[in-house]
Copies of this chain bind each other. A is one copy, B any other.
Amino acid sequence: MNNITIEHILRAHKIIIPFIHNTPILTSGTIDQICKANLFFKCENFQKSGAFKIRGATNALFSLDDEEIKNGVATHSSGNHAAALALAAKWRKTKAYVVMPENSSEIKIKAVQEYGAKITFCAPNLEAREQGLEKVIQETGAVFIHPFNDPKIIAGQGSCALEFLNTQSGFDYIITPVGGGGLLSGTSLAVAAKSPKTQVIGVEPELANDAYLSLKSGSFVPAKNSNTIADGLRTSLGSLTFPIIKKNVSEIITVSESEIVLAMRCIWERMKIIVEPSSAICLGAILKKPQKFYGKKIGIILSGGNVDFNNLPW
| Interface residues in chain A, defined as those with a beta carbon under 8 Å from any beta carbon in chain B | 24, 45-46, 50, 107, 265, 268-269, 271-275, 305, 309-310, 312, 314
Distance between Cα atoms of A107 and B314 in the complex (Å): 14
Min CB gap A209→B, angstroms: 28
Neighbour of A309 across the interface among B46, B273, B275, B314, CB < 8 A? B314
Neighbour of A312 across the interface among B265, B269, B275, B309, CB < 8 A? B309
Q: Is the CB of B273 within 8 A of A272?
A: yes
Q: Is the CB of B274 within 8 A of A268?
A: yes
Distance between Cα atoms of A24 and B275 in the complex (Å): 18
Distance between Cα atoms of A45 and B312 in the complex (Å): 21
Q: Is the CB of B46 within 8 A of A265?
A: no
Neighbour of A107 across the interface among B46, B269, B309, B312, CB < 8 A? B269
Query: In the complex, what residues of B have CB within 8 A of residue A272's CB?
Result: 45-46, 50, 273-275, 305
11 contacting pairs across A/B (C-beta < 8 A): A46-B271, A50-B272, A107-B269, A272-B273, A272-B305, A273-B273, A273-B274, A309-B312, A309-B314, A310-B314, A312-B312
Query: In the complex, what residues of B have CB within 8 A of residue A46's CB?
Result: 271-272
Query: In the complex, what residues of B have CB within 8 A of residue A107's CB?
Result: 269
Residue of B nearest to A265 (CB): B309
Min CB gap A269→B, angstroms: 7
Residue among A265, A271, A272, A312 with most chain B CB within 10 A: A272
Query: In the complex, what residues of B have CB within 8 A of residue A314's CB?
Result: 309-310
Distance between Cα atoms of A271 and B274 in the complex (Å): 9
Q: Is the CB of A309 within 8 A of B268?
A: yes
Distance between Cα atoms of A245 and B265 in the complex (Å): 38
Query: In the complex, what residues of B have CB within 8 A of residue A309's CB?
Result: 265, 268-269, 312, 314
Min CB gap A271→B, angstroms: 8
Distance between Cα atoms of A275 and B272 in the complex (Å): 7
Min CB gap A123→B, angstroms: 28
Residue of B nearest to A267 (CB): B274
Distance between Cα atoms of A274 and B267 in the complex (Å): 10
Min CB gap A119→B, angstroms: 19
Query: In the complex, what residues of B have CB within 8 A of residue A310's CB?
Result: 314
Query: In the complex, what residues of B have CB within 8 A of residue A274's CB?
Result: 268, 272-274
Residue of B nearest to A271 (CB): B46
Distance between Cα atoms of A17 and B24 in the complex (Å): 22
Distance between Cα atoms of A107 and B272 in the complex (Å): 13
